[in-house]
Structure formats: structure tokens, C-alpha cells
A and B are shown apart, each in its own frame.
Chain A
């Protein structure tokens, strides 16, 4: 029983990082650029998160976000792909397809 408690405590202590585990799409943006956000379709087993510069400046800095909006796909906290906006502050038109292709590749690798 003690071993279980120690393991659980250890596990929860380790899991306090800011980007959660698993496969996750994070859309980094700012309040003033919400018009250029894209709507990410819900995908099975993939979490979707929106982060705004005004609320999480540290995460933006830590993850070296230079362009807004930026879409990043993470797997277990490691960056898989990053898609950044251009000078028009818009993400490329095919951003969703690129993301889904990468997610497909990640899922396929597990089988």
C-alpha cells in the first residue's frame, strides 16, 4: 500500500508541467487577433487547447512563440509540428490538413 502511495505522489509531482501529456494541439494567439483564429475540428484521442498571450506569457516565452497565431502539435510534451502565421497574421489555408496528416502519422505509428 505504501509503495502505491509513494508511486502516486511521485507521479502527480512529475505531472505538473504546463503542456499536458498525450497528443494535444495548442493554438497560441492573442486577444486582439481572435478574428484570425482557426476552428480545430474535434479529433478522437486528441486534446485541443487555446492559449492567449495576455493570460500565459510565460508559456509563450518558454515555447518561443514568435508569430500569432501559431498552431503546435505536441505528443507527450514534445513538439511534433509547428505552423506559424504569416505577415497577414493568418495561418495557412491548409493548416488543418497538415495537422490531421501529422496526427494520422502519430496514430498509425502506434499500431
Chain B
């Protein structure tokens, strides 16, 4: 079923790609064109300067620097005979990654190709900055499969942009299997160039997110309460879902046990826990809570999150680009501000990011107000060749989308010795 969904999305993406391309070529050439010229223009708009690639890499997987050992009861003896020492170090098959793709994305003057060939691992500034290094069609369509520490993932990046003097149209879809990240966006902006170095842009962006950011199901479940009034003016509030009942939900069971210390005669009571197969997995409630329970909380959250539909919202966006380049000095800075006027058009609004701070004891707080937010993406690149043999650079990018915040900054100085 999932494959069908992916194929449908890919099909839709290709249709959008072609129809946008044809519209743009027609808009560029409004006069009646011969078929031959139309197809020539279509080819030049779409495929000229593009690169088709298929690439892969294989390397050995991570190996623990220190080996892990454990002991097993000697098959010819009992628990107190000399045990068998077993090497339990985790060994994974080799890692690999292979990708196929096609790309047509211009690099800014300060960006070096870096490698002789494209292999799908490139991350150009043009993918984040509002304005491109080239007016016209650009795209990166990359699909890859990878195995990392024995686990297999699918990754993809489908990016299409058309930049004109006064417009920016962009479609993007990303999937990173190893971090369970899925994201789609479509944006349309009006662009106002001010001189050759600066441009402003404004429009709207529609984005999807799979995760219910800000919604923590297990915390809400644990915080649900019941109130008991004994009729004599005493009101008691107690948890509706005591923490240990989550274990029962997943087939775990507790068993009452009394332990008597034979030396001191001290008697303690506790509960030991068994898994759904009846194997003992914790010797006390505390032991259970500190080991198995943490996994159950995450499992519960995953199940609830997965049961929710993906979200889609639309919001206004503002941006700017400043670009100046000479061979000895360059500055490129850009930013996009997704304004706090988000409107969800897909997904359950109760669990949306607008309600991220509205959950408390007893669930969603009644009459709580939806809370808007700002999202940003900004970058700054600066490089200068101070003298023939000294260069300095600063490069950084900051992205804040919903709950996630990503930033990276590189800076340095180079001095070449004669």
C-alpha cells in the first residue's frame, strides 16, 4: 500500500513538473511558435546543463572500539560451574548507499564543485536560498537506498524551482529514512530585485509535517485524572492511568512478592514483572520503571503518532537575498520568514502545533487559544582573500521549523606558505 502511495506521489510530482515547465516555456515565448521551436525551447529550459547520475558507495560498518563479552552457563554444568565466555560485540554487515538522480542546479560563484562527479550527496546553497544562481528551471531529483549498521533506509529529495525576474516557484519533497523525516512544501513568491545585488520576495508556502510536533501522548495519558467526592466535603483527585497500567496494556504482568532477609528478619514487599511470554524481566516496580517502562512509553508515543494523519498548513512567507561576488571578496546572505499566520488544511487541529502548549492535566485545556509561531531559515556566507596568500571565511545556516532547530557554522582562516 505504501509503495502505491509513493508511486502516486511521484506521478503527481512528474505531472506538476512537466505542466509547470510547459507553462513557463509558453510564458517566455508568447508569440506563436512552430512545434519544432517549442520543443527545442522546452528541451533547453528543462534539460540543458542537467546531469544524470547513478552512484554508490560501500564501506565497512561501525565497529565498537571495545569488545563486549557475556557469560553463558556451561552446557555440561550448572549455574555455579565455570561459565562459557561469549563475545557479544555487535557486528553489522557492511554499509552501502546507492542513488540515482538527475540534477540541474547552478552553483553560486563562490561554491566549488568539490568533486569531479555528482553522487547525490551534494548540498548546495541554492537549495535553501530564496533566489537562485540562475534564472530559469532548476531541479534535483534524487532517490537513494542505504544500509547503516545493518538497517536499511530509503531517502529521497525532489526539488524543483523556477526563478524569474519577478517570481519564484518551488516544490520540494524530502525523506530521510534514518531519522524518520518526511517533508513536503510548495511555495510561490513575488520577487522584487533591487539593483543587481539585492532582492525581496513575498508569497505563500504550504508545508506538510508527519510528526505531531509539541504533542506528547504519553505525558497526556499519564496526566489524566479522576475526581472522587466522598459526599462529606472531601474531594480527591487521583491519576486515571497509574503509570504501571501501561505495562498491562502491552501484556506485561506484575506479581506480588514478599522477601524476608534471613539474617535480619526484615520483610519487604514489592512486585516483580514478567513479559508477555512469562519471562521475568524486572525484580521490582522501580526496576521495571527504569528499564522496560521507558521503552513502553516510546512505543506508546510512536503508536499514537502513527495513528494520526499527516499535517499540512499554509502561511505567508517573506524573504530576501543579498549577493555580492568578486574573486577576492564575496558575501551572500539570505533569509526566509514564515509568518505567524499558519492555517492547517490537513490533519486534526487538536493535535496540531497550534495546540502545542494547550495540553495539561485532564487533556486539552478547555477554551484554550490556538498559538501561532514564527519559522525561519537564514544563511550567511562570507569569504575574503585578504592578501595573495591569506583567506578568511565564515559560512552558516540556521533553520527553525516547528519544534526542530538546525544550525551549522563554519569559519576559518587559510594561510598558504611559499
Contact = CB atoms under 8 A, between A and B. Distances in A.
Interface residues on B, range: 20 to 34
B284 interface: no
Given A21-B326, A76-B325, A76-B326, A111 B331 contact: no
Interface centre among A45, A110, A111 (most CB of B within 10 A): A111
A15 B135 contact: no
Contact of A111 (B105, B135, B324): B105
A7 B330 CA distance: 11
A81 B124 CA distance: 29
B197 A111 contact: no
B319 to A, nearest CB: 16
A111 B327 contact: no
Interface in B19-51: 49-51
A22 B323 CA distance: 11
A107 interface: yes
Contacts of B51: 111
Interface in B95-115: 104-107, 109
A2 interface: no
Contacts of A44: 135-136
Contacts of B135: 44-45
B329 interface: yes
Interface in A78-106: 78
Contacts of B49: 107-108, 110-111
Contacts of B109: 76, 110
Interface string A17-43: 000011000000000000000000000
Interface in B312-371: 324-327, 329, 331
A11 B327 contact: no
Contact of A14 (B50, B104, B107, B329): B329
Contacts of B106: 110-111
A111 B326 contact: no
Contact of A77 (B104, B105, B107, B326): B326
B204 interface: no
A108 B134 CA distance: 11
Interface string A43-63: 011000000000000000000
B196 A111 contact: no
Given A22-B196, A45-B135, A76-B109, A111 B329 contact: no
A45 B134 contact: yes
B133 A77 contact: no
Contact of B134 (A11, A22, A77, A110): A110
Given A44-B135, A110-B133, A11 B325 contact: no
Interface centre among B51, B106, B326, B331 (most CB of A within 10 A): B326
A44 B136 CA distance: 10
Ranked nearest first, the 10 interchain pairs of A and B with the lowest CB-CB distance are: A111-B49, A110-B106, A11-B324, A110-B107, A76-B327, A111-B106, A108-B49, A14-B329, A76-B326, A111-B104
Interface of B: 49-51, 104-107, 109, 133-136, 196-197, 324-327, 329, 331
13 contacts: A7-B331, A14-B329, A21-B324, A21-B325, A22-B196, A76-B325, A78-B327, A108-B49, A110-B106, A110-B133, A111-B49, A111-B106, A111-B107
